[in-house]
Amino acid sequence: MTVGAQRLVVKVGGAVAAESAGHILGLVEEGHEVVVVHGAGPQITKEMTRRGIPVEFVHGRRRTSRAGVDVVRDSLAEVNADLCAALGEIAVPIFGDVHGLLAVPVPPLGWVGDPLPSRPLAILEALAAGKVPVVAPLAVGPLNVNADDAAAALALGLGAKRLLFLTDVPGLYVDDEIVDEIDSVLANKLLDAGAFEGGIVPKLRAAAIAAANGVSTEIGRTAVIA
Protein backbone atom coordinates (compact mmCIF):
# COMPACT_ATOMS: atom_id res chain seq x y z
CA MET A 1 0.00 0.00 0.00
CA THR A 2 1.07 3.59 -0.59
CA VAL A 3 1.85 6.03 2.22
CA GLY A 4 -1.38 7.03 3.96
CA ALA A 5 -3.30 4.15 2.46
CA GLN A 6 -5.44 1.92 4.67
CA ARG A 7 -7.23 -1.39 4.65
CA LEU A 8 -10.94 -0.63 4.27
CA VAL A 9 -14.14 -2.64 4.34
CA VAL A 10 -16.95 -1.15 2.27
CA LYS A 11 -20.48 -2.47 2.69
CA VAL A 12 -22.90 -1.75 -0.13
CA GLY A 13 -26.61 -2.44 -0.05
CA GLY A 14 -28.25 -4.59 -2.67
CA ALA A 15 -30.22 -1.61 -3.92
CA VAL A 16 -27.07 0.39 -4.74
CA ALA A 17 -24.45 -2.32 -5.32
CA ALA A 18 -23.54 -1.83 -8.98
CA GLU A 19 -23.91 1.96 -8.66
CA SER A 20 -21.26 1.94 -5.91
CA ALA A 21 -18.51 0.72 -8.24
CA GLY A 22 -17.23 4.21 -8.99
CA HIS A 23 -16.80 5.03 -5.30
CA ILE A 24 -15.04 1.72 -4.68
CA LEU A 25 -12.68 2.17 -7.63
CA GLY A 26 -11.89 5.68 -6.40
CA LEU A 27 -10.74 4.25 -3.07
CA VAL A 28 -8.57 1.72 -4.90
CA GLU A 29 -7.02 4.47 -7.02
CA GLU A 30 -6.09 6.27 -3.78
CA GLY A 31 -4.01 3.21 -2.90
CA HIS A 32 -6.25 1.64 -0.29
CA GLU A 33 -6.79 -2.09 0.15
CA VAL A 34 -10.55 -2.47 -0.26
CA VAL A 35 -12.77 -5.37 0.76
CA VAL A 36 -16.38 -5.09 -0.42
CA VAL A 37 -19.31 -6.78 1.31
CA HIS A 38 -22.66 -6.52 -0.44
CA GLY A 39 -26.24 -7.28 0.41
CA ALA A 40 -29.13 -8.35 -1.79
CA GLY A 41 -32.14 -7.43 0.33
CA PRO A 42 -34.53 -6.20 -2.37
CA GLN A 43 -33.62 -9.05 -4.68
CA ILE A 44 -34.10 -11.69 -1.95
CA THR A 45 -37.50 -10.32 -0.95
CA LYS A 46 -38.67 -10.17 -4.57
CA GLU A 47 -37.55 -13.73 -5.30
CA MET A 48 -38.98 -15.15 -2.06
CA THR A 49 -42.31 -13.57 -2.89
CA ARG A 50 -42.16 -15.00 -6.40
CA ARG A 51 -41.50 -18.49 -5.04
CA GLY A 52 -44.19 -18.24 -2.37
CA ILE A 53 -41.75 -18.28 0.56
CA PRO A 54 -42.86 -16.14 3.55
CA VAL A 55 -40.92 -12.90 4.04
CA GLU A 56 -40.42 -12.17 7.72
CA PHE A 57 -38.05 -9.91 9.63
CA VAL A 58 -37.21 -9.88 13.34
CA HIS A 59 -35.54 -6.64 14.53
CA GLY A 60 -34.38 -5.94 10.99
CA ARG A 61 -33.01 -9.45 10.41
CA ARG A 62 -34.48 -11.88 7.92
CA ARG A 63 -35.92 -15.15 9.24
CA THR A 64 -34.58 -17.76 6.82
CA SER A 65 -35.83 -21.28 6.15
CA ARG A 66 -33.68 -23.91 4.40
CA ALA A 67 -35.52 -23.12 1.18
CA GLY A 68 -34.90 -19.47 1.90
CA VAL A 69 -31.14 -20.04 2.04
CA ASP A 70 -31.24 -21.19 -1.59
CA VAL A 71 -33.00 -17.96 -2.55
CA VAL A 72 -30.46 -15.94 -0.57
CA ARG A 73 -27.57 -17.65 -2.36
CA ASP A 74 -29.12 -17.19 -5.82
CA SER A 75 -29.84 -13.52 -5.15
CA LEU A 76 -26.40 -12.85 -3.68
CA ALA A 77 -24.79 -14.57 -6.66
CA GLU A 78 -26.67 -12.28 -9.03
CA VAL A 79 -25.66 -9.12 -7.17
CA ASN A 80 -22.09 -10.37 -6.78
CA ALA A 81 -21.78 -11.00 -10.52
CA ASP A 82 -23.19 -7.56 -11.39
CA LEU A 83 -20.89 -5.79 -8.93
CA CYS A 84 -17.83 -7.72 -10.09
CA ALA A 85 -18.69 -6.86 -13.69
CA ALA A 86 -19.01 -3.18 -12.76
CA LEU A 87 -15.62 -3.23 -10.99
CA GLY A 88 -13.90 -5.09 -13.81
CA GLU A 89 -10.89 -7.42 -13.72
CA ILE A 90 -9.78 -6.15 -10.32
CA ALA A 91 -12.75 -7.86 -8.63
CA VAL A 92 -12.59 -11.34 -7.06
CA PRO A 93 -15.90 -12.99 -6.10
CA ILE A 94 -15.87 -14.48 -2.58
CA PHE A 95 -18.67 -16.54 -1.03
CA GLY A 96 -18.34 -16.63 2.73
CA ASP A 97 -19.70 -20.13 3.23
CA VAL A 98 -17.09 -21.51 0.83
CA HIS A 99 -14.16 -19.34 1.91
CA GLY A 100 -14.43 -19.42 5.69
CA LEU A 101 -16.69 -16.72 7.06
CA LEU A 102 -17.61 -18.12 10.46
CA ALA A 103 -20.84 -17.54 12.38
CA VAL A 104 -22.72 -18.73 15.44
CA PRO A 105 -26.13 -20.21 14.52
CA VAL A 106 -29.23 -18.30 15.66
CA PRO A 107 -31.89 -21.07 15.71
CA PRO A 108 -34.91 -18.77 16.38
CA LEU A 109 -34.23 -17.16 12.99
CA GLY A 110 -33.76 -20.45 11.14
CA TRP A 111 -30.69 -20.86 8.94
CA VAL A 112 -29.14 -17.62 10.18
CA GLY A 113 -25.88 -16.86 11.95
CA ASP A 114 -24.16 -14.12 13.94
CA PRO A 115 -20.79 -13.68 12.20
CA LEU A 116 -17.53 -13.93 14.10
CA PRO A 117 -14.45 -11.81 13.34
CA SER A 118 -12.93 -13.77 10.48
CA ARG A 119 -9.79 -13.59 8.36
CA PRO A 120 -10.49 -15.76 5.29
CA LEU A 121 -7.35 -16.74 3.41
CA ALA A 122 -9.00 -16.10 0.03
CA ILE A 123 -9.56 -12.46 0.98
CA LEU A 124 -5.96 -12.01 2.12
CA GLU A 125 -4.67 -13.60 -1.08
CA ALA A 126 -6.82 -11.31 -3.21
CA LEU A 127 -5.60 -8.22 -1.36
CA ALA A 128 -1.99 -9.35 -1.68
CA ALA A 129 -2.51 -9.60 -5.43
CA GLY A 130 -3.86 -6.06 -5.60
CA LYS A 131 -7.43 -7.22 -6.18
CA VAL A 132 -10.77 -6.27 -4.59
CA PRO A 133 -12.51 -9.17 -2.83
CA VAL A 134 -16.27 -8.88 -3.35
CA VAL A 135 -17.88 -10.83 -0.51
CA ALA A 136 -21.33 -12.42 -0.52
CA PRO A 137 -22.36 -12.67 3.16
CA LEU A 138 -23.10 -16.33 3.67
CA ALA A 139 -21.34 -18.16 6.50
CA VAL A 140 -20.18 -21.74 6.80
CA GLY A 141 -23.24 -23.93 7.30
CA PRO A 142 -24.56 -22.45 5.08
CA LEU A 143 -26.03 -19.71 7.21
CA ASN A 144 -27.60 -16.46 6.08
CA VAL A 145 -25.68 -13.57 7.64
CA ASN A 146 -26.79 -9.98 7.69
CA ALA A 147 -24.44 -8.10 5.36
CA ASP A 148 -23.93 -5.24 7.83
CA ASP A 149 -22.90 -7.69 10.56
CA ALA A 150 -20.64 -9.53 8.11
CA ALA A 151 -18.92 -6.28 7.13
CA ALA A 152 -18.22 -5.41 10.78
CA ALA A 153 -16.97 -8.93 11.55
CA LEU A 154 -14.61 -8.87 8.56
CA ALA A 155 -13.40 -5.38 9.44
CA LEU A 156 -12.43 -6.63 12.88
CA GLY A 157 -10.98 -9.94 11.69
CA LEU A 158 -8.96 -8.37 8.87
CA GLY A 159 -7.66 -5.49 10.97
CA ALA A 160 -9.29 -2.83 8.79
CA LYS A 161 -8.86 0.80 9.74
CA ARG A 162 -12.18 2.00 8.30
CA LEU A 163 -15.64 0.57 7.70
CA LEU A 164 -17.84 2.44 5.24
CA PHE A 165 -21.55 1.78 4.74
CA LEU A 166 -22.72 2.98 1.32
CA THR A 167 -26.52 3.20 1.32
CA ASP A 168 -29.41 4.73 -0.56
CA VAL A 169 -29.83 7.31 2.25
CA PRO A 170 -27.32 10.10 2.96
CA GLY A 171 -26.74 9.25 6.62
CA LEU A 172 -28.29 8.40 9.98
CA TYR A 173 -31.53 10.20 10.83
CA VAL A 174 -32.20 11.08 14.48
CA ASP A 175 -35.42 12.99 15.14
CA ASP A 176 -35.89 13.37 11.38
CA GLU A 177 -32.53 15.06 10.90
CA ILE A 178 -29.26 13.64 9.62
CA VAL A 179 -26.56 13.70 12.28
CA ASP A 180 -22.88 14.17 11.40
CA GLU A 181 -21.70 12.06 14.33
CA ILE A 182 -23.00 9.64 16.95
CA ASP A 183 -21.06 7.73 19.58
CA SER A 184 -21.47 3.99 20.00
CA VAL A 185 -22.84 4.24 23.55
CA LEU A 186 -25.66 6.58 22.52
CA ALA A 187 -26.30 4.51 19.41
CA ASN A 188 -26.80 1.38 21.49
CA LYS A 189 -29.04 3.22 23.97
CA LEU A 190 -31.26 4.45 21.14
CA LEU A 191 -31.33 1.00 19.57
CA ASP A 192 -32.26 -0.65 22.87
CA ALA A 193 -35.00 1.95 23.36
CA GLY A 194 -36.51 1.07 19.98
CA ALA A 195 -35.78 4.47 18.44
CA PHE A 196 -35.12 2.91 15.02
CA GLU A 197 -36.79 0.29 12.90
CA GLY A 198 -36.09 -1.63 9.72
CA GLY A 199 -32.74 -2.06 8.05
CA ILE A 200 -30.99 0.73 9.95
CA VAL A 201 -31.17 -1.38 13.14
CA PRO A 202 -28.58 -4.04 12.19
CA LYS A 203 -26.55 -1.43 10.29
CA LEU A 204 -26.20 0.93 13.26
CA ARG A 205 -25.61 -1.92 15.73
CA ALA A 206 -22.86 -3.33 13.51
CA ALA A 207 -21.35 0.13 13.11
CA ALA A 208 -21.40 0.65 16.89
CA ILE A 209 -19.61 -2.66 17.48
CA ALA A 210 -16.92 -1.82 14.94
CA ALA A 211 -16.44 1.70 16.30
CA ALA A 212 -16.21 0.48 19.90
CA ASN A 213 -13.43 -1.87 18.78
CA GLY A 214 -11.33 0.83 17.18
CA VAL A 215 -12.52 0.82 13.56
CA SER A 216 -13.33 4.24 12.09
CA THR A 217 -16.91 3.80 10.87
CA GLU A 218 -19.25 5.83 8.70
CA ILE A 219 -22.88 5.37 7.61
CA GLY A 220 -23.15 7.70 4.67
CA ARG A 221 -21.99 11.05 6.02
CA THR A 222 -22.58 10.05 9.66
CA ALA A 223 -19.47 9.10 11.63
CA VAL A 224 -20.02 6.45 14.31
CA ILE A 225 -17.37 6.89 16.99
CA ALA A 226 -16.29 5.05 20.13
Q: What is the 3-state secondary structure (H, E, C) of the chain?
A: CCCCCCEEEEEECCCCCHHHHHHHHHHHHCCCEEEEEECCHHHHHHHHHHHCCCCCEECCEECECHHHHHHHHHHHHHHHHHHHHHHCCCEEEEEHHHHCCCEEECHHHECEEEECCCCCHHHHHHHHCCCEEEEECEECCCEECCHHHHHHHHHHHCCCCEEEEECCCCCCEECCEECCEEEHHHHHHHHHCCCCCCCHHHHHHHHHHHHHCCCEEEECCEEEEC
Domain-embedded: residue 130: yes
Query: What is the separation, in whole angstroms, between the first and last Cα of the chain?
Result: 26
Domain membership flag for residue 187: no
Residue 54 lies in a domain: yes
In a domain, 59, yes or no: yes
The CATH number of the domain where 105 resides is what? 3.40.1160.10
Number of residues in the chain: 226
**In this structure, is residue 222 part of a structural domain?**
no
- Confidence at residue 2, expressed as pLDDT on a 0 to 100 scale: 64
pLDDT score, position 89: 96
> d(Cα 77, Cα 143) in Å, to the nearest integer?
15
Single-letter residue type at 64: T
Distance in angstroms (rounded) separating the CA atoms of residues 203 and 167: 10
150 assigned to some structural domain: yes
How far is it, in rounded angstroms, from Cα 205 to Cα 100? 23
- Model's pTM, two decimal places? 0.94
193: in domain: no
Which range marks the domain in which residue 53 is found? 7-167
Q: Is 100 a member of any domain?
A: yes
Q: pLDDT means per 10 residues in the chain (226 residues)?
A: 82 82 95 96 94 88 93 96 95 96 96 96 97 97 95 97 91 92 94 89 94 95 94
User: What is the per-residue pLDDT for 1?
Assistant: 60
What pLDDT shows up at residue 3? 66
- For residue 1, give the nearest of 35, 34, 36 by alpha carbon: 34
Beta bridge mates, 8? 34, 162
Q: What is the pLDDT of residue 115?
A: 96
Number of domains in the chain: 1
pLDDT confidence of residue 161: 96
